[in-house]
Structure 1
Amino acid sequence: MTRDHRARSLGAHALAPETLMMGYGYDPALSEGSIKPPIFQTSTFVFRSAEDGKRFFEVAYGLREKDPEEALGLIYSRINNPNLEILEDRLAIWDGADKALVFSSGMAAISTTLLALSRPNDVVVYTAPAYGGTEYLFDRILPRMGVATVSVSDCGDAEVLDQTIRAAAAQAKARGGRLAAVYVETPANPTNQLIDLRAAADSIRALDQAEAPPLVVDNTFLGPLWQKPLDHGADLILYSLTKYVGGHSDLIAGACLGRADLMARVAEMRTICGTITDPHTAWLLTRSLETLHIRMERSQANAAELVRRLRGHPKVEAVLDAGGAESSPAQQAVFARQCLGAGSTFSIRLKGGEAEAFRMLNALGLFKLAVSLGGTESLASHPSSTTHSDYSPEAKARCGIGDNLVRLSVGIENVEDLYADLDQALGAI
C-alpha cells in the first residue's frame, strides 16, 4: 500500500503531533529505503532540465506565484535542503503554523525576522525583561538603522501594554513610518512574568493603521507543548531551537513560524542574509523532535515537584514560576487562559544578595553552572551577573532581576537527586 507521507490522519482519525514526528514529510523510497532521513550534506542540487531550473528560481525569487500543488524545487542549501524541509514541515505541525523556517541560531531567527518586518522611521514595541541578545538588538542595533524601539516593562498589565502600543503607533506616524511589530517574550526571562497575548492582539487590531503590525511571540520558555501563541492572536512565533526542541545542549539553531504572507517576507530575508541553518543541525533537530514531548513532560514534572518543595524553604524568599501560587490573581488568570503547563524553567529569590547566591551556586553538585536552558541536564545561572549583566541597576530593579535571583532549568534526572542537591546547596548560604 502506498502511503501519503504528508497525511495527518488515518481515515477520519486525526494523528497527534508526537506521532507525526516519526515520519511526516519523508518518503523512505526516495532515500534507498532508509527509515530515517539521511544527511543531505551538499551545497547544490542538480536540475533535471534547464526548464526546471528556471521554474525553481522563479518561485524562489518571487518572480511568480507558486502553483497550489507545486513544491519549491531544490536549488542550493542557502535557500533550501531536504533536511531543512522535513524539519520545517514537522515544526509547523506543533504550532499549527502555515509555514516554519529554521535559522543558524535563535538570534539569527529574531534578527532576520525584525529586518524583514521593519524599515527606517518605523517603531517596534517590545516587552521587558527579555533575553539579553534580544534587548541588545532592539536597544543598540535597530536604532542605528533608523528603527525606533519602545520598551515596556510593566507589560503584565494589559492596560499599560495597550497604552504603550497606541503611543508607539502615534510616534511612528509622526516619524513618517509605521508601528512595524509588537514583540512579546512570554513567559519573560528570567522572571516568568506572563503577557496576555489575546489582549495584546486586540490592542493591535484596534489601531488606526492601514496594515496591522504583527504580534511576534518568543515562545522559547514554554515551547510548543505548553503554549500555542497562534491560538491567542499571535502572527509569528520565534524559538531558540537550541533549548527544548534541540534539547541536548549540543547544537545552536532558531526558528520562525506563522502566517504564510509574513513568512514569505522572512524567507526572502533569510535567503539574502544567509542565516539558514546547516543540514547536519537540521538532521539533529529532526531526531530531537521525536522525543520532544517525552523530555518536556518529564522536565516539567520534575520542576513542579521542586517548586512545591522550594516554596516555603527557609532560605528561599520567593519562587517565580509561570502562573504560580506566588503570582498575582491577574497572572494566574492569564496562565489559566493561555498556558497548557508551567514548563521547567523557573527562578528563586534567595534571602540575601549576590554573596548568598554565589555560595549557593558554587555548592551545587548536580546542577551545572551555565546559561541556556531546556536541555536534558539541569542548569543554574545568576542572571544579574551573566545574561542580564548589561542592564542598568534601574532596569534590573524595574524588571525584578535582583542580585539574589537564581534561575533554574530543570532536566530529566531523578527528582529526589535534584532536590537533595538544591537543599544541600541552600544549606551553604
Structure 2
Amino acid sequence: MDSEMLKHMRPESLMMSYGYKPELSEGAVKCPIFQTSTFVFKSAEEGKAFFEIAYGHRAQNEGEELGLIYSRINNPDLEILENRLTLWDGAEDCAVFESGMSAITTVLLEFLQPGDLLLMSNPLYGGSDHFIKKILPKFGIQVAEFRVGQSREEIIAIVEKTGLAHKLALIYIETPANPTNDLIEIAGSKAIAQHFSTPDKQVYLAVDNTYMGPIWQHPLKHGADLVLYSATKYIGGHSDVIAGACLGSKALMKRVKGLRTFLGNMASPNTGWLLLRSLETLKPRMDVQALNANKVAAFLNTHPKVEKVYFIGNLTEANGEQYAIKQKQCLSNGGMISFDVKGGEKEAFQFLNALKLIKLAVSLGGTESLAEHPATMTHVDVDANLRKELGITEKMIRLSIGVEYYEDIIYDLQQALNSITG
C-alpha cells in the first residue's frame, strides 16, 4: 500500500491488510500462522547480516530490513501484528508479549536499575501493584506513590521527600485507574517527568492504557513515552487469548525488544494470529461496548440499591479537574463501570451469585459482560488500609460491559439487585 493511501485511510480499514504481502504466502488473503521455531537463511552472508543487526553490532543500511531469524526474536505473525497496533496509537514501534504482566515487568526491568526510584499512581491493577511493591524492592528499587487529585506541586514534593529525586527514573501511571475509573492527566505526569529530567538522564513516563484500549485514549499523543496494554482485554476481546503489548519510539522499543529477546517472553505465532483476527473487529466491538456502558450506567445511577457509580460518563463540570482531564484525553466514556451496593460484602456476594447472563469472572474487555469483586479478587493483595482509602471496599462491584443487547444486560443487573436482602 502506497504512502498516499496510508495517509488517507483510518486504522479500522487498514486492520484487514496493513503490513501483509499475500505474494509471500502463496496468495493467501489472510496471514497464515507461521508455526515455526526457526527460519532458513538464503546464504551464510545473509545470516551474518541478520544477526549483526539483531544484536546491535551495526546499524541497518538504508532500505535494509531485519530478516527472519528465530521466533524468539521475530516472526511474521508478530511483526504484522506489531505494525498494525502502531496505527491506533500513532507509535513508531510495538512489541507484543505473552501476557500483559510480561509487557509491564519487562518495561520496569529495562528502565529501572538498583538504586533507582519509581513513582507510581494509585490505584493500579493488583498484579502491577504487587510486582512494583513486593518484587522491585528485592532488586534495590525504591517506590514513591501519589494519589488521584494531588497537585503537581504535591507530587513533586513526594518525590523530593524521598531524598532520591536525583534517582527518579520512571513514572508509571494507570488511567483510568482499575477499578475506580479515576483519571490522571497524562500531560501533567509528563511535566513532572521533565521536571526531574536532566541533560544526562531522562525520566520516562509509562501509561497502562488497558482500560481504554487503543480506540478510546492515545497516551503517546499526550506526552507518554511508553503505552502498555494487557492485549488479553479489548485488543484480544474474546476471552480466549493471553497477551500484552508495549508501544513507543523506535529508540525505546529497541531496548524493550532487546530485553524481551533474552527474557523469552514474546507472544507465540498462534497468539499473534489470533490477535490479528481480533484487530479486524476491534472498533465495532468497542463501539458497542461503549454504547452499552452508557445505558447500563444510566440504569445503575438511579437504582435504589446502588449507593455510588464509578463511571467516566458520570463526570460533569462540577467534578472539576477529573472532568477537565476526561474532556482533554478520553475519546469515550469507556466500557468499564464499578459501583457500590448498599451494604457490604454480604450484599455484594448476593448480587454476584444471582447473575445469570453476566459471568462472575475476572478480566475485562471481552465480548461477554463480566462482574467481579475487586476487594477480594483482583485487588486482594493491595494493602487493606490503602484499599479503603482508595474506595475499593467490600461493597464495590466491577463490571466489564460486553456486546450483548443492552436491555438484556440491564435485565440481569435488575434481577440480581432485587435478590439482595438485608
Cα distance in structure 1, aligned partners of 2:305 and 2:139: 47
Cα distance in structure 1, aligned partners of 2:336 and 2:344: 21
AA of the residue aligned to 1:171: L
CA contact (8 A) 1:245 1:288 kept: yes
TM-score of the superposition, structure 2-length normalised?
0.96
CA RMSD of aligned residues (A): 1.5
Cα distance in structure 2, aligned partners of 1:411 and 1:242: 14
1:10 to 5, 10, 16: 5
AA of the residue aligned to 1:195: I
Give the equivalent residue in structure 2 for 1:180.
Answer: 169
Cα distance in structure 1, aligned partners of 2:11 and 2:91: 13
In the alignment, structure 1 residue 34 sits paired with structure 2 residue 28: yes
Cα distance in structure 1, aligned partners of 2:222 and 2:127: 26
Cα shift readout 1:262-289 (whole Å, capped 9, x = no counterpart): 1111111000100101000000000000
AA of the residue aligned to 1:228: H
Q: Secondary structure at the match of 2:399?
A: strand
Cα shift readout 1:309-343 (whole Å, capped 9, x = no counterpart): 11021011111012523782210110001110111
In the alignment, structure 1 residue 353 sits paired with structure 2 residue 344: yes
CA contact (8 A) 1:28 1:37 kept: yes
Cα distance in structure 2, aligned partners of 1:8 and 1:242: 31
CA contact (8 A) 1:127 1:185 kept: yes
Give the equivalent residue in structure 1 for 2:79.
Answer: 85
In the alignment, structure 1 residue 385 sits paired with structure 2 residue 349: no
Give the equivalent residue in structure 2 for 1:373.
Answer: 364
Cα distance in structure 2, aligned partners of 1:277 and 1:50: 28
CA contact (8 A) 1:218 1:237 kept: yes
Cα distance in structure 1, aligned partners of 2:116 and 2:208: 21
Q: 1:373 to 1:208 in 2, by over 3 A?
A: closer
Bigger shift: 325-334 or 239-248? 325-334
Shift in Å, 1:146: 1.1
CA contact (8 A) 1:122 1:172 kept: no
Alignment of 1:206-285 (within 5 A): 206-209=195-198, 210-285=200-275
CA contact (8 A) 1:25 1:86 kept: yes
TM-score of the superposition, structure 1-length normalised?
0.95
Give the equivalent residue in structure 2 for 1:128.
Answer: 122
Shift in Å, 1:10: 2.3
Cα distance in structure 2, aligned partners of 1:154 and 1:340: 20
CA contact (8 A) 2:130 2:382 kept: no
Give the equivalent residue in structure 1 for 2:92.
Answer: 98
Cα distance in structure 2, aligned partners of 1:159 and 1:225: 31
CA contact (8 A) 1:153 1:398 kept: no
AA of the residue aligned to 2:320: P
Give the equivalent residue in structure 2 for 1:201.
Answer: 190
CA contact (8 A) 1:8 1:20 kept: no
1:412 to 399, 403, 407: 403
Q: 1:159 to 1:226 in 2, by over 3 A?
A: farther
Shift in Å, 1:156: 5.6
Q: Percent identity?
A: 50
Give the equivalent residue in structure 2 for 1:146.
Answer: 140
Shift in Å, 1:398: 1.6
Cα distance in structure 2, aligned partners of 1:68 and 1:342: 44
CA contact (8 A) 1:121 1:172 kept: no
Runs of 4+ in structure 1 over 6 Å off: none
CA contact (8 A) 1:323 1:334 kept: no
Shift in Å, 1:150: 1.5
CA contact (8 A) 1:253 1:281 kept: yes
Aligned residues: 418
Shift in Å, 1:260: 1.6
AA of the residue aligned to 2:388: A
CA contact (8 A) 1:381 1:406 kept: yes
CA contact (8 A) 1:165 1:204 kept: no
In the alignment, structure 1 residue 325 sits paired with structure 2 residue 315: yes
Cα distance in structure 2, aligned partners of 1:316 and 1:362: 17
Cα distance in structure 2, aligned partners of 1:68 and 1:100: 21
Q: For structure 1, list consecutive stretches of 5 or more residues without a partner in the other structure.
A: none
Give the equivalent residue in structure 1 for 2:164.
Answer: 171
Cα distance in structure 2, aligned partners of 1:300 and 1:161: 32
Q: Secondary structure at the match of 2:312?
A: coil
CA contact (8 A) 1:184 1:216 kept: yes
Q: For structure 2, list consecutive stretches of 5 or more residues without a partner in the other structure.
A: none
Cα distance in structure 1, aligned partners of 2:312 and 2:159: 24
Shift in Å, 1:203: 1.6
Bigger shift: 69-78 or 80-89? 69-78
CA contact (8 A) 2:168 2:196 kept: no
